[in-house]
């Protein structure tokens, strides 16, 4: 049986997994702290290594996979997560020179991600030139948003080309749409509010299986309070920060020093915040939940109602208190949580008396990427 390698390159990491053509995961791992004190973890083991860049990280991954019994010669294809596909790349694609060029053209929109994905793509092309490669895009699930949801109220001019709402976490939402009927044993709800809550966090209004609104915008900075990102902030406040601190310092403040980290004054980890009795930590958690609810109201209005809620992501799947606080804030809609189910980490969280279904769906972005690639391979 031929195997499919899935690569998910971040700013300083590469997640990887090998899937069979039955979408069963064979092995998975992570290289982290690329460019620093790097670590490669796989099959329950971790080893320190020196990885100067993403190309070196890919070399290390392939070597580790070969030692584990998954040599590159056995691979049928490789598939990549691409954070930003822009306006043109709205479906999973087989990688060609034209598709690669379009991903590169989107690099200014995702400077911490697209260039590193391209580095992995190019290195794999050098090492295994005949291996088919595919790309799935985090923005593509939101291509169904109407223009009234994606266009900012700014004039059409050369300086504003490409400045629009794109939305992110699309692979997570696509996976959720695919998996929820399997988890619930019921058809996909018509009006579904999805919470992808993790270090990066967003909400998505999913109407009849299609995204019609989401909280992230031109970049993953907008919307909810996040681990280290500010979420929504007035553009004039950003301009003032630039005037007082300069552009690069402002980028660092908003992307890496804000959110839960900035509010708590110490940590972006929701698990640690929930164990910390300090007032700052309590306020950071409440800020996260409050703005999740504020945005939830907006997205429910975009769907003109609500049939079900689904939580996914590290916080969404594991932070019982955060889920309970958010669901309590939606009781005016007829949401009724079963506290015992929430505490036990069940997939179904709603009580029998609830007018709205509430579910927890594990995030499976890598499996979604594999499914996209296998579908394209079968279509040839």
Q: What is the DSSP string of 162-209?
A: T-S-----HHHHHHHHHHHHHHHSSPPPSEEEEEEESSSEEEEEEETT
Q: What DSSP designation does 337 have?
A: B
User: Is the per-residue pLDDT at 111 higher than 90?
Assistant: no
In the chain, the percentage of residues whose pLDDT exceeds 90 is: 89
Q: What CA dihedral angle connects 115, 49, 30 and 135, to 10 degrees?
A: 30
Q: What DSSP designation does 140 have?
A: G
Give me the CATH code for the 185-360 domain, please.
Answer: 3.30.420.40
> CA-to-CA distance for 151 and 214, rounded, in angstroms?
13
Contacts of 323 (CB under 8 A, 6+ apart): 311, 316, 337, 342, 349, 360
Strand order through the sheet with 357-360: 210-214, 201-207, 191-197, 308-312, 357-360
pLDDT tens-digit series, residues 13-60: 899 999 999 999 999 999 998 998 899 999 888 999 989 999 999 999
User: Is residue 5 helix, strand or coil?
Assistant: strand
> Does the structural domain 3-137 have CATH classification 1.10.3720.10?
no
Computed from CA positions of residues 336, 341, 347, 353, in that sequence, does the dihedral angle turn out positive or negative?
negative
- Scan for tokens 């994905």, then name that residue: 117
User: Is the per-residue pLDDT at 113 higher than 90?
Assistant: no
Q: Can you name the residues that pair with 45 across neighbouring β-strands?
A: 42
Contacts of 275 (CB under 8 A, 6+ apart): none
User: Is the per-residue pLDDT at 265 higher than 80?
Assistant: yes
Yes or no: say if 108 and 157 are a contact pair by the CB < 8 Å rule: no
Mean pLDDT, rounded, for 92-105? 96
> CA-to-CA distance for 218 and 84, rounded, in angstroms?
10
Return the domain boundaries, the chain: 3-137, 185-360
> CA-to-CA distance for 76 and 132, rounded, in angstroms?
7
User: Is the per-residue pLDDT at 81 higher than 60?
Assistant: yes
Write out the DSSP string of 338-362.
-HHHHHHT-SB-B-TT-SSEEEE--
User: Is the per-residue pLDDT at 251 higher than 90?
Assistant: yes
In the chain, the percentage of residues whose pLDDT exceeds 70 is: 100
pTM for the whole thing?
A: 0.93
Contacts of 106 (CB under 8 A, 6+ apart): 84, 85, 86, 89, 114
Q: What DSSP designation does 295 have?
A: H
User: Is the per-residue pLDDT at 289 higher than 70?
Assistant: yes
Q: Which of 1-5, 123-127, 235-239 is predicted with the least confidence, judged by mean pLDDT?
A: 1-5
Angle at 32 between CA 26 and CA 64, to 5 degrees: 40
> CA-to-CA distance for 113 and 367, rounded, in angstroms?
20
Looking at residue 10, what is its pLDDT?
A: 84
Q: What are φ and ψ of residue 278, in 5° steps?
A: -70, 155
User: Active-site residues: which are they?
Assistant: 138
Average pLDDT, the chain: 95
Strand order through the sheet with 14-19: 45-49, 38-42, 25-32, 14-19, 3-9, 75-82, 133-137, 93-94
**Reported confidence tier of residue 12, pLDDT bands at 50, 70, 90:** confident
Helix intervals (H) in the chain: 54-67, 97-105, 114-127, 147-150, 170-184, 235-245, 247-256, 259-264, 270-275, 279-303, 313-318, 320-328, 339-344, 365-379
User: Is the per-residue pLDDT at 108 higher than 90?
Assistant: no
Question: Are both 3-137 and 185-360 of the same fold?
Answer: yes
- Count Cβ atoms within 10 A of the Cβ of residue 280 and give its class: 0-12 exposed, 13-18 middle, 19 or more buried: middle
> CA-to-CA distance for 355 and 180, rounded, in angstroms?
18
Nearest to residue 77, comparing CAs of 55, 62, 63, 94?
Answer: 94
């Amino acid at each position: 049986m031929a195997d499919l390698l899935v690569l998910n390159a971040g700013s300083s990491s590469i997640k990887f997994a090998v899937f069979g053509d039955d979408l069963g995961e064979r092995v998975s791992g992570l290289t982290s702290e690329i460019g620093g004190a790097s670590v490669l973890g796989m099959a329950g083991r971790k080893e320190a290594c020196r990885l100067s860049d993403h190309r070196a990280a890919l070399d290390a991954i392939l070597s580790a996979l070969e030692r584990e019994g998954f040599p590159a010669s056995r691979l049928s294809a490789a598939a990549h997560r691409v954070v930003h596909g822009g306006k043109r790349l709205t479906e999973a694609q087989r990688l060609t020179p034209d598709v690669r060029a379009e991903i590169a053209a989107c690099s200014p929109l995702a400077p911490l991600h697209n260039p590193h994905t391209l580095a992995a793509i190019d290195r794999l092309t050098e090492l295994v030139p005949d291996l088919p490669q595919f790309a799935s895009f985090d923005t593509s699930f939101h291509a169904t948003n109407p223009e009234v949801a994606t266009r900012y109220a700014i004039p059409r001019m050369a300086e504003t080309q490409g400045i629009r709402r794109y939305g992110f976490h699309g692979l997570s939402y696509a996976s959720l749409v695919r998996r929820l009927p399997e988890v619930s044993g019921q058809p996909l709800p018509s009006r579904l509010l999805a919470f992808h809550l993790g270090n990066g966090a967003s909400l998505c209004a999913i109407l009849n299986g299609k995204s019609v609104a989401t909280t992230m915008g031109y970049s993953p900075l907008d919307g909810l309070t996040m681990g280290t990102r500010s979420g929504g902030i007035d553009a004039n406040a950003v301009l003032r920060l630039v005037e007082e601190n300069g552009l690069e310092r402002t980028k660092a403040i908003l992307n890496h020093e804000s959110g839960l980290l900035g509010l708590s004054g110490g940590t972006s980890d929701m698990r640690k915040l929930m164990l910390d009795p300090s007032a700052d930590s309590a306020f950071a958690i409440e800020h996260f939940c409050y703005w999740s609810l504020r945005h939830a109201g907006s997205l429910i209005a975009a769907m003109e109602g609500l049939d079900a809620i689904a939580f996914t992501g590290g916080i969404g799947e594991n932070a019982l208190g955060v889920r309970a606080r958010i669901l309590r804030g939606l009781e005016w809609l007829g949401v009724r949580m079963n506290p015992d189910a929430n505490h036990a980490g069940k997939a179904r969280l709603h009580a029998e008396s609830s007018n709205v279904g509430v579910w927890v769906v594990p995030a499976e972005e890598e499996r979604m990427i594999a499914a996209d690639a296998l579908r394209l391979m079968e279509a040839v």
